[in-house]
Amino acid sequence: MHTKDAASDFIDQVWEQFIDSMDKRENYLDYVSHRPGVRSDGDHGLWNKDGKVLNLSKAVDEVANHPGIVWTPVVSLRREDAERLGYTDVDNWRALVNSCAAEIAKGYRIPLEHLRWYAALHEKEKHVHIHMVVLSSNPKEGYLTKQGIRDIKSAFATRVFEQDLLHTYERKTEYRNTLQRSAQERMAKLVTSMNSGSAVNKRLEQLIGELAEKLKATKGKKVYGYLPPRVKNVIDEIVDELAKDKRVAAAYSLWQDMQDEVVRTYTDDLPERVPLSQQKEFKPVRNMVIRETLKLSERKVTFEDEGMDDEPEEAETAPPPISSIHRIYEQAERYRRAKKLLYDEDTDLDEKRSAIEMLERLWNEGYMIAAHQLGKVYRDGLSVPADWVKAEGWFRKSAERGTVCSAYALGKLLLPVGLSTEAIRWLKYAAYAGDQYARYTLGKVYLAGENTEKDVDTAVEYLKASAEQGNQYAQYALGKLYLLGRDVPPDREAAVYYFTQSAAQGNTYAQFFLDHLDDMRNPSVGLAALRMFHHMANIFRDSTAQDSTHMGLHIDRKRRRELQEKRIAMGHKPDDHEDEKMNQTMG
């Protein structure tokens, strides 16, 4: 049984040769195409992406006189591996290099269309290898870093040993799966702990206040990459202060462990561990710090409702007449079966598509709630590409038939894309029918005044109606309004009343205010620190979900929907999936 040692030996060979210098480039191509052991086709053994090089002297001259950098990597396999995997044949090696061309170009920082390479296959007693020459048609392009080398090595190793690695890890599969599940579960617990905890930290609050002052005095873009070093240093200090929290530290350590497991599939040379503020995968943390600090000076109302679950299980149908009870029962069974197939991660794609077809048939049969579920399918991208237009269409069909949850879903879908008049109309329809989430959303809309004219009295009316239905986020918003007294007269007693109701339902922001009513000179700074802490939890969750996607796992449907809404709100088209890495929390 071949093991990862085979891949490691191959990778070591690549590492040793990837940055060889080339003192006599005028002789190099001619040498490798004729040297003893070369697999030649006629008069020489040089080939490129198209096959045998037909004009050897022209290729030799191109390399010898190239004014830019020329690299000479060697890719080597042990003979037994080469024979077993079919790499004693030029055509297979050429197919391998062509399949890695994108990674090679990226590793050398050369646009793919400018990448030029030549290679010759050589056989030794113990190894089979190719000598390559890599350059760019633009002599000003190209440079190689350790990360570039690592990425190219990974590409070759993955393709060469793809089947081998599958068999190699066969005996370890259950262990690795168990390890991954355990890591996911631990990360979920840490994220929950962060989201449900507070982060009272005087040094953190001091740094946030300092950053707020520096940002006021800074002109230009308020994005990390555009800021002067003195401001960046404060941001980095804030991130490192957040990282000192034991839950954040544990989550970051676990995240690094999970990354190492991925890297170990092709090398034991693990990347250096750096502070969280310097970790490139967590760049969104720094800009999150900037956004949260800017809110202090903007004095905009914030709601802290990112954890709200506003989709309780919808009612399947109205009570049927006695004469049709059997038919309605059968339709309800099909509806439940379709939903189960859609949300079960073990269901294959064909079954999920059949479930969608089943929902469409149910709608055509008059089973109205099926349209609402179809709206969610296209909004959240459940087994189909997310499609804003189709989602809107299905929600509209259902809302026009009087389905309250669809009216709310339609209003919420239309709101961030600028269709505020119609969005508010549907939200009012749902609010009039008693939907607490529609009432809360309208309260936010009228209080913020971003999608319609600001109307504090109407906002408070909607928020109170939602709060009376037990909505903890409406209760929290009212508590903050009355405590800060920005849009309404301050009323400490009312603030405590609403905060207490919200905190009793587990709202950590409300509890934070209750705990610090008397010891905060500026509660907004403390709240900004808490929001940063909770955003950290979301960023860890999103990063883990993104990595899990590469490992065959799935980001949950609610998170997909949230990310899609953010893309739309930022101006992306509903079917624009070019930047799926926007999984990091944006605000």
Q: What is the mean pLDDT of residues 165-192?
A: 49
Q: What is the mean pLDDT of residues 188-217?
A: 68
SS (H, E, C) 171-213: HHHHHHHHHHHHHHHHHHHHHHHHHCCCCCCHHHHHHHHHHHH
Give the pLDDT band (50/70/90) at residue 169: very low
Maximum mean pLDDT: which of 178-187, 224-233, 298-307: 224-233
Comparison of pLDDT for 5 and 488, the residue scoring more: 488
Q: Is the pLDDT of residue 492 over 60?
A: yes
First-to-last C-alpha distance (Å) of the chain: 50
DSSP line for 511-558: HHHHHTTTT-S-HHHHHHHHHHHHHHHHHHHHHHHHHHHHTT----HH
Q: 32 with 19: CB under 8 angstroms?
A: no
Q: What is the predicted pLDDT for the residue at 303?
A: 75
Tell me how far the alpha carbon of residue 284 is from its chain's centroid: 11
Identify the structural domains of the chain with CATH numbers, from first to last.
4-168 (3.30.930), 171-298 (no CATH), 322-523+545-569 (1.25.40.10)
Q: Within 13 Å and on the Cβ side, how many CA atoms surround 517?
A: 16
Helix (H, G, I), strand (E, B) or coil at 274: coil
Q: Is the pLDDT of residue 318 over 60?
A: no
Q: Is the pLDDT of residue 174 over 60?
A: no
Residue 55 tokens read as 């004009």
Q: What is the predicted pLDDT for the residue at 525?
A: 65
Q: Is the pLDDT of residue 561 over 80?
A: no
Phi, psi of 52 (to 5 degrees): -60, 135
Distance, CA of 116 to CA of 344 (rounded, Å): 47
pLDDT single digits (tens) 241-263 = 877 877 778 777 877 777 777 66
Of 208, 193, 214, 243, the C-alpha closest to 526 is 208
Q: What is the mean pLDDT of residues 151-167?
A: 72
Phi, psi of 252 (to 5 degrees): -65, -40
Give the pLDDT band (50/70/90) at residue 393: very high
Q: What is the predicted pLDDT for the residue at 247?
A: 75
Strand 115-123 and strand 127-136: the pairing is: antiparallel
Comparison of pLDDT for 575 and 87, the residue scoring more: 87
Q: Is the pLDDT of residue 547 over 60?
A: no
Distance, CA of 168 to CA of 10 (rounded, Å): 15
Give the pLDDT band (50/70/90) at residue 117: very high
Q: What is the mean pLDDT of residues 300-316?
A: 69
pLDDT single digits (tens) 31-58 = 888 888 788 878 888 999 999 988 988 9
Q: Is the pLDDT of residue 207 over 80?
A: yes
Q: What is the predicted pLDDT for the residue at 16?
A: 40
- What percentage of the chain has pLDDT greater than the value 70? 73
Tell me how far the alpha carbon of residue 543 is from its chain's centroid: 6
Q: What is the predicted pLDDT for the residue at 26?
A: 58
Q: What is the predicted pLDDT for the residue at 572?
A: 43
Q: What is the mean pLDDT of residues 110-115?
A: 93
pTM above 0.75, yes or no: no
Give the pLDDT band (50/70/90) at residue 556: very low
Distance, CA of 425 to CA of 113 (rounded, Å): 52
Q: Is the pLDDT of residue 540 over 90?
A: no
pLDDT single digits (tens) 418-460 = 778 899 999 999 999 999 999 999 999 999 887 788 899 999 9
